[in-house]
Amino acid sequence: MSALSAVSLDGRSLASASRHDAGKVPHGSRTRSQRSLTGPLVWRGDDFQRPCTYTLQLEERDLQEVQQALENFKKLGLVKDEVGPSNFALPTLGARLETCARTLHIGHGFVVIKGLDGCKFDVEDSVVAYLGIASYIADQRGQQNKDGDVLTHITSYKQWTVPMDLRHGIHSQMALPFHNDMGCDILALQTRHGAHKEGGTYLSSAWTLLNDLLRDEPHVAKALLTPDWPVQVSRSKASHYLAPLLVLQDDKLMASMDPNRLGPHHTCAPGRGPPVLTANQRYALERVSVVARKNELRLSLESGDLLFFNNWGLLHRRDAYQDSAITSRHLVRLWLRNSSLGWTVPEGMLLPWQEAYQPKNGPAARLYALHPPAEYKVPKYSAGSAAFLIEDSDGSDDENQH
C-alpha cells in the first residue's frame, strides 16, 4: 500500500495518509469503527488552532512576482478568459500554489491566501491577479449562469432599490445555512470588502459529518446516502430530479446539498412540482445543520484575502451581517476545476456540474463583470442558498443564488 504525504503550504510534511485508505467505508458485516472515513479531510474546527496551518501568506517577493505577471499580461492585449500560467508567469509562487491545489484535493481541503492587498491594485487589476493566481490551482473556470458569467458578486449592493426579501440570499445580508454550491468542484472567494459587523464564513468537513452520523445516528447517514432527494430544477415547469446528498465513490465522500433547493418550490401549487420531503428527510437536514456546526471552523477573511476550498468535501455557511453607511460586504466568486486532480463526479450529481463546466449550449461569450449590475433584476426563481444553473426552456430567470 503506497503512502501519500500531505504537505504544508511551505513544503514541510504535516501528516501522511494512504491514498487507498482515505475515504474508504468498508461494507458488509464490519465493526462500527471500521466504517469510519479516514484521511486529512476528516477534521474538526478545533484541529486548526493556528491560522498559519491553512494560510499562505504572500511576502514581498511574491507580490513583486504577481505585479510583474500582471504587467506582462496587460502588454499582451489578451482578454480575462485567457489568463493562465502561460501568460501569467509566477516563477516561484506558482509551485507553492500548485501545492495548494494538492491540499484542496488530497489534504485538508481548503487554503486562505493573504497579503494580496499589499499590491494596492485597482478593481480590474485585482480581478486579473485573482484569475492568475487561481489558474495555478485549477485550469478550468465554470460558468455560473446561462448568460456566461464566470464571476459572481456576492453582496448587498447599496445602489439596488429592490427589497431584500425579493432577492436571492447571495444578494442579501441574511444568514445562509450549511450547503454546497451544487455542481462546483473548487469554490474560490476573493474578499473585496468585509462586513461592517458579523458576516463570518464557516467551513465544516462533510467527511467528519458522516463519521459522526455513522457512529451516533446511522439511519440519518443512510437517508443522506439514499438517492431519493427531490432537487428543484425549474419553477415554471416544476421539474426536478432525484439524487443522493452524499455519495461514496472512488474511496471519496462527495457532498452536494442545499437545504433550500430540496422539495417543492414555495410557489408551486399543492400536488404539483417535486414531492415534499419526508419526516425522515427533514430530520436528516436538521442533524446536518447541528453536527456541521459542532465541527465548524470560522474563518476571518479581510480585504484582499482569497479563499479556495473543496466544494465536494466541505460544507460552508455564513452569519447574517451588517454593512456600514458607506461600505458593503463584497465577495467575488469563481467556480474552478483542476482537470488532473479533480474528483470524478458521480452520476447523481452530474446535472448541475455539466451545466457549469460542460454546457451543451454555451453562451455567446464568457463574461467577467468587474462590478455588480447597476440595476437589480428580480429573479423569477429564488429558491436555494447556492448558485445553481436552472434547466428551464421557457425563459425563467436563472440568476445565481448562494
What would the DSSP string read from start to end of 277-329?
Answer: PPHHHHHHHHHHHHHHHHT-EEE---TT-EEEEETTTEEEEE--EE--SS---
pLDDT beyond 70 at 236: no
Q: How buried is residue 184: exposed, middle or buried, by Cβ count under 10 Å (0-12/13-18/19+)?
A: buried
Query: What pLDDT score does 391 carry?
Result: 40
Average pLDDT, the chain: 86
Axis-axis angle for helices 218-225, 279-294 (nearest 10)? 110
Distance CA 42, CA 22 (A): 9
Task: Pick the closest to residue 337 from 181, 233, 192, 210 (CA basis).
Answer: 181
* Bigger pLDDT: 5 vs 203: 203
Give mean pLDDT, residues 363-391. Answer: 73
Which helix or strand (DSSP H or E) is residue 254 part of? strand 252-255
Whole-model pTM?
A: 0.88
Query: What pLDDT score does 385 carry?
Result: 52
Q: Which domains does the chain have, with CATH numbers?
A: 52-358 (3.60.130.10)
pLDDT in tens, 239-279: 889 999 999 999 999 999 999 889 887 777 777 778 999 99
pLDDT in tens, 280-322: 999 999 999 999 999 999 999 999 999 999 999 999 999 999 9
